With several copies, the nearest count.
Chain A
C-alpha cells in the first residue's frame, strides 16, 4: 500500500492533465463505473493488479475537484464517492473482529472484478463489431428466387408488432378496465338497488348474508365482493334512516331490519 502512495505522489504532469480533461468531460462518462475504469487506466497496470485504494483516492479527488469547479455531479457519482470513502476506511483500518460484514479486501476485490468485467465486455464488443458483417462485408442472395408455381399467402408479424399492438391498446385514452375484473365484482350501487327492492319485507332482524344475490355465495372471490358491497349498501340505508343494523359481538352475524316507524 505504501507503494501505491508513492506512485500517487509521482503522478506526472500528463496524468494531471488527464484528470483535468476528465472534469471537463464529465458528461462523456457513462456513470461512475465507466469513470473508475478510465481512472484505473492511469495506473497503467493489469486490472487484476490494480490498487483499489489508490483508485478510490483518485475518484474522491475527482469528485472533490468537480465540487470545487462547481460542476454538478449526478447522484450516482456521489453515491459511489460515499461508498468508496467507506471502502477506503475499511482498507486502511485494521479489521474489527466483531464486524460481521464483508472485509475491505473482499469489497475491493469485487470492485476490481467489476472493472475488469466491464473492460472485458468493452473489448468483446469491439471485437464483435470488428467482425465481417452481413450487408457490409459479405452478402446474402440478392434475388431470392421467385418461382411462381405455388402461391400460398401466409401472414406474419414480429414479436415487436405484437408487443406494440398491446402497448397501444393499453395506453389508449379511453382506457377501460378489463371485463374479467368487472364481472367478478358487485358494485355498491348494484347492491343498494337490490336492497331497496327487498327491504320492504324485512320486518324481522335478518342476517345481511341472506341478501347476497343468487349465485354469489359460492366462489370466495364473488362472495367477498358481494358481502362488501352489500354491507356498504346497508350502511348507506342506515344513514338514510331506512333500516337499523346490529351486530351482537365481533365477527357475529350482521343483522338488519326495516325501521319500525318508517
Chain B
C-alpha cells in the first residue's frame, strides 16, 4: 500500500482511484465483457495509475465461496458461476432458433384466420404445407386442433393457443393488428396488389371480423 502511494505522483498528475474503487471497476468490466479480460487490458481500460492485479486479488477474495467466482482463463480473467451450482443453469442451455419462413407464415395464417384448415393455409400460401411444419407448431404448443369444419371430409381446423398469446405478448388474438393497421405502421406495402382494388381490403377486414366474431378466437381466450 505504502509503496503504491509513493509511486502515484510520479505516474500521473491525477491520483489513481482508491483500491476499493478499482475493485468495483474490475468487477464491472469483467461482468460486462463478452470475453475474458487480461490484466494488461484491465489496466489499459482503467484510469491511469490503477493496479488491476491488486484489485483482482481483492475481488477474488470477495467472491470466495459466493455463487459466482473469479476464474483465470489462460492469461485472462472472467467471472463464472460456482461449479457446484451448475445444475441451476439448465435454463440457460436452451438453444433458441428462429422459426423457418414456412413455419412463421403458416403460424401467421392460423393466427389471423383461425379456425383454419390445412387446405385453406395452402390456398393462402400458394404452396403445400409440409407435415413437419404443422408438427413443429403443435410441438411448440403455439397451435392446437380446433373444431372440425362442417364441410365435406370434415377437415380438422387449427387455432392458436394461450402459449402463443403468451409468447407474442398478446392479450388475445383479436389484438393482432389488422391489415389496415399493418399498412399504417409501414409493415405492409401501401400499394394494393395488382388487379385487386379497394374492395379487397374491405373484404379482408370482413373476413377477419367474421373469424374473430365466430367461435374460434373466443374459445381460445377463455
A141 & B34 in contact (Cβ 8 Å cutoff): yes
A interface footprint on B139-174 (CB within 8 Å = 1, 0 otherwise): 111001100000100000000000000111110000
Q: Which residues of A contact B33 (CB under 8 A)?
A: 141-145
Give the residues in chain B near A136, CB-CB below 8 Å.
86, 93-94, 96
A-B contact pairs, 22 of them (CB 8 A): A30-B102, A118-B124, A118-B125, A124-B112, A125-B105, A131-B177, A133-B169, A135-B93, A135-B94, A138-B86, A142-B34, A145-B32, A145-B80, A149-B86, A150-B1, A154-B94, A156-B167, A159-B145, A160-B187, A162-B111, A164-B187, A175-B194
Check if A156 sits within 8 Å of B109, measured CB to CB. no
A166 and B191 form a contact (CB under 8 A):
no
B18 within 8 A of A: no
Tell me if A30 and B127 are in contact (CB < 8 A). yes
Range for the number of chain A residues in contact with chain B: 35 or more
> Binary interface profile of A, 166-200, with partner B (CB < 8 Å = 1, else 0)?
11111111111111110100000000000000000
A148 CB–B CB distance under 8 Å: yes
Contact A149 B97 (CB under 8 A): no
Given A128-B108, A159-B170, A163-B108: A143 touches B34 (CB 8 Å cut-off): yes
Asked whether A156 lies within 8 Å of B169 as measured between CB atoms, the reply is: no
**Interfacial chain B residues near A109, Cβ < 8 Å:** 194
Q: A110-B194, A134-B169, A181-B207 given; name 19 further pairs at CB < 8 Å.
A: A124-B108, A132-B83, A133-B169, A139-B31, A141-B31, A142-B33, A144-B92, A145-B31, A145-B81, A147-B90, A149-B86, A154-B140, A160-B138, A162-B107, A163-B176, A163-B177, A170-B188, A178-B207, A179-B124
Asked if A220 is an interface residue, CB under 8 A from chain B, the answer is: no
Q: Which residues of B contact A150 (CB under 8 A)?
A: 1, 90, 93
User: Chain A's nearest CB lies how many Å from the CB of B80?
Assistant: 5
B127's partner among A31, A114, A132 (CB-CB below 8 A) is A31
The smallest beta-carbon distance between B138 and chain A, in angstroms, is 6
**Which of B6-14, B44-52, B58-66, B178-186 touches A?**
B178-186
Residues of A within 8 A of B (CB): 30-34, 76, 101-103, 106-107, 109-110, 113-114, 116-118, 120-125, 127-129, 131-181, 183
> Contact mask B92-116 → A, CB, 8 Å, 1/0?
1111111101111101110111001
Q: Which residue of A lies closest to B28 (CB)?
A: A139
Given the known inter-chain contacts A135-B96, A141-B79, A179-B119, please indicate yes or no for A147 contacting B34, CB distance below 8 A. Answer: no
Q: How far is the CB of B7 from chain A (nearest CB, A)?
A: 14
- Give, as a whole number of angstroms, the nearest-CB distance from A155 to chain B: 5
Distance between Cα atoms of A118 and B98 in the complex (Å): 22
Give Cα A164 to B101, complex, Å: 11
> Quick check: A128 and B107 within 8 Å, CB to CB?
yes
Q: Complex: how many Å from CA A158 to CA B82?
A: 30
